[in-house]
């Protein structure tokens, strides 16, 4: 309890510093994984596919929790709002673990589509990734404020304003992530990214039919 109280006290006194520290750790984990700096066990192709599906389920649950949290705060049910948003944040942490394991130990997928569909997919994927990166400090800051202040005290902080931005960016990112997941895994199909150019060169005409 003493450790938790000290952490809460520090977060309460310096929420921006805590936000920056937590955000930097998150960015370091992601860039370290993509850069091959962090060691991950090699996983099978079947595990990569399973993790992709598991990530989609986690993100769908997180998006649902966010929408429920918005409903609760608009209804004035602060405790339920807090529970829903903390649930969403916990799910995003679970997503991060699954995603890093998939990227660090497996392979990336490329969609089997061309033309307008490919460009639409890439655009949505780019917006999804950009919003995911940009929303990290905003989401963390809203959570830090929420955990370190009472509901009455939060009215004197930027929690409501930051929370609205976090919900918009975070929610849209999750939604686009789910749309691109469905396109990639259940509509157009995929191949490991390194094989995409060869497959499209051979099967391109049939894909356009």
CA 104 to chain centre: 16
pTM: 0.86
Instruction: Give me the pLDDT at residue 4, please.
Output: 53
Instruction: Give me the pLDDT at residue 178, please.
Output: 97
Query: In the chain, which residues have pLDDT < 50?
Result: 3, 197-198, 200-203, 206, 208-209
Residue 10 belongs to a domain: no
Contact, 89 vs 143, CB < 8 A?
Answer: yes
Other beta carbons less than 10 A from residue 20's beta carbon = 14
Count the domains in the chain.
1
Residue 7 belongs to a domain: no
Instruction: Give me the pLDDT at residue 209, please.
Output: 46
Here the tokens at position 114 are 């061309």
Instruction: Give me the pLDDT at residue 70, please.
Output: 97
- Helix (DSSP H) and strand (DSSP E) numbers for the chain: 8, 2
Eight-class DSSP state of 190:
E
Q: For the chain, what is the radius of gyration of the CA atoms?
A: 20
Residue 11 belongs to a domain: no
Here the tokens at position 33 are 């994984």
Domain of 203, CATH number, reads: 1.20.120
Q: What's the pLDDT tens digit per position in 103-137?
A: 999 988 999 999 999 999 999 999 999 999 999 99
Residue 131 belongs to a domain: yes
Instruction: Give me the pLDDT at residue 179, please.
Output: 97
Q: What's the pLDDT tens digit per position in 77-91?
A: 999 999 999 999 999
Residue 62 belongs to a domain: yes
Residues of the domain holding 110: 41-208
Q: 111 - beta bridge partners?
A: 190
Which residues 6+ apart lie within 8 Å of 71 measured at CB? none
Residue 27 belongs to a domain: no
Residue 144 belongs to a domain: yes
Residue 65 belongs to a domain: yes
Instruction: Give me the pLDDT at residue 197, please.
Output: 47
């Amino acid at each position: 309890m003493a450790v938790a109280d000290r952490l809460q006290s520090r977060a309460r006194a310096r929420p921006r510093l805590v936000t920056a520290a937590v955000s930097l750790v998150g960015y370091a984990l992601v860039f370290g994984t993509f850069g091959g700096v962090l060691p991950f066990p090699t996983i099978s192709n079947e595990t990569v596919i399973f993790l992709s599906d598991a990530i989609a389920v986690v993100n769908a649950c997180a998006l649902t929790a966010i929408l429920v949290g918005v409903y609760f705060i608009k209804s004035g049910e602060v405790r339920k709002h807090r529970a829903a948003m903390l649930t969403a944040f916990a799910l995003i942490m679970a997503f991060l673990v699954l995603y890093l394991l998939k990227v660090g130990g497996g392979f990336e997928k490329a969609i089997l589509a061309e033309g307008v569909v490919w460009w639409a997919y890439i655009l949505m994927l780019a917006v999804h990734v950009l919003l995911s990166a940009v929303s990290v400090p905003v989401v963390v800051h809203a959570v830090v404020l929420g955990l370190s202040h009472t509901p009455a005290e939060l009215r004197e902080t930027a929690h409501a304003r930051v929370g609205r931005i976090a919900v918009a960016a975070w929610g849209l990112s999750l939604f686009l992530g789910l749309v691109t997941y469905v396109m990639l895994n259940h509509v157009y199909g995929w191949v490991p990214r390194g094989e995409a150019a060869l497959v499209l060169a051979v099967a391109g005409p049939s894909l356009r039919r």
